[in-house]
Amino acid sequence: MTAPPAPPAPPGPPWALLAELTHACPLRCGYCSNPVELVGRSGELSTEQWSEVFRQAGALGVVHTHLSGGEPLLRRDLSDLVAAADGARLYTQLVTSGVGLGERRLAELTGAGLRSVQLSVQHADRVTAERIAGARSFTAKERAARLIHEAGLPLGLNAVLHRGNLDDLDGLIRLALDWGADRIELANTQYHGWAARNRAALLPTPAQVERARARVVRWRERLGGTLELVWVAPDLVDATAKPCMGGWGAVSLTVTPDGTVLPCPAAGTLPGLDPPNVTHRELAWIWRESRAFNAFRGESWMPEPCRGCALRTVDHGGCRCQAYALTGDATRTDPACRHAPDRPLVAALVHGAADCADPSAYGYRGGGR
């Protein structure tokens, strides 16, 4: 008989907090990874409750917070929240659509201690961008980028990539250069929440992915580091599990609009996880002791073939939420992985996408207003 696997080592302190301040959003992107069931405005944490979250996060060792959503600008108390996070010695980054970011609002936020902004973009072409977002937003984004640049704040763009924009990578990169961005994250869609409903329409073809990847390599050579290009790989097409969240409960935590604390933004979908809430428990207890944060920590939960695979130290067994979404069992090897017993499921999806005739036929995000 073999010895039972050792329990996971006590976790080091977390580095980052994703603060989902609200689920409300002026955009209706079909690739939205927020849950299908959103938290309503009346269920959101108050200013005081968020301030307490930031205080506890700072004491626990968090140094970065990403103020996200939905659209965090829809929180009228956003500059108070920035001030609270800054007061807790957290580095604050705003993650925004840019809709509602005028001159006065930005001045308030920088005055409160905002350090940097990540702005979403859907496409370099205005009409296509607004079709993808399902809302008028391009002019607001242009203006936001100009104001952020003029204010001297670091600006990152974030483009979620899918079948409908992957062929225009050059346009997105030129947009980043035109708008004075320091960085652009070219992030292939993660099929969680609303996005999972649109998987067939969003999944790119392997040929599209290969062309795009080659463009990234060319641009990197050409730019020589003046604009940082981050490529978030399409795990399903690449047949390579992603090192999801840098490991379960290893690097960061997510607090959703109603105070639920999750090891990753999509983990709310996992059955039986029983995620804790900041209104009932201290963040330190949640991070160290809660069942949810220990569920997939370390390696003792891993099935074969992960258990004996050298990749386990790199990909940490891949994405639990994807394993659950595709197989109904969160403890299975991530089916994205080429070594996974369930890989045929993913191969069928990728094949199916190549045959999908109308790439724009996805359902817009609903319920986010």
Partner 1 sequence: MTAASPASPATSWRPVLARGVVLRHDPVRDADLLLLPERVVVLDGSAGGVLRLCDGVRDVAAVVAELAVRHPAAPVAAEVPEFLNRLRKEGWLR
Binding residues for [4Fe-4S] cluster: 25, 29, 32
List binders of partner 1 among 13-52 (CB under 8 A): 13, 15
> Which tokens belong to 307?
């258990």
Contact call for residues 154 and 115 (beta carbons, < 8 A) = yes
List binders of partner 1 among 245-284 (CB under 8 A): none
Q: What gap in Å lies between CA 242 and CA 310, rounded to an integer?
A: 14
Residue labelled with tokens 């829809």: 74
Q: What gap in Å lies between CA 245 and CA 232, rounded to an integer?
A: 12
Contact call for residues 203 and 162 (beta carbons, < 8 A) = yes
Buried b (16+ CB within 10 A) or exposed e, 294-329: bbbbbbebbeeebeebebbeebbbbbbbbbbbbbee
DSSP label at residue 10: P
Return the residue of 80, 182, 258, 342 that touches partner 1, per CB under 8 A.
182
List binders of partner 1 among 220-249 (CB under 8 A): none
**Residue 230 β-bridge partners:** 185
Binding site feature residues: 25, 29, 32
Under rule CB under 8 A, how many of the chain's residues touch partner 1? 19
The window from 39-47, 85-93, 161-169, 317-325 that contacts partner 1 (CB under 8 A) reads 85-93
Question: Which CB sits closer to partner 1, 61 or 352?
Answer: 61
Return the residue of 41, 47, 63, 349 that touches partner 1, per CB under 8 A.
63
Assess 152 for contact with partner 1 (CB under 8 A).
yes
Question: Which CB sits closer to partner 1, 93 or 254?
Answer: 93
Cβ at position 92, least distance to partner 1 in Å: 10
Cβ at position 117, least distance to partner 1 in Å: 8
The sign of the CA dihedral 355, 359, 361, 367 is positive
The window from 110-118, 123-131, 261-269, 335-343 that contacts partner 1 (CB under 8 A) reads 110-118
Catalog residues that contact partner 1 under the rule CB under 8 A.
Answer: 13, 15, 59-61, 63-64, 89, 91, 93, 115-116, 118, 152-154, 156, 182-183
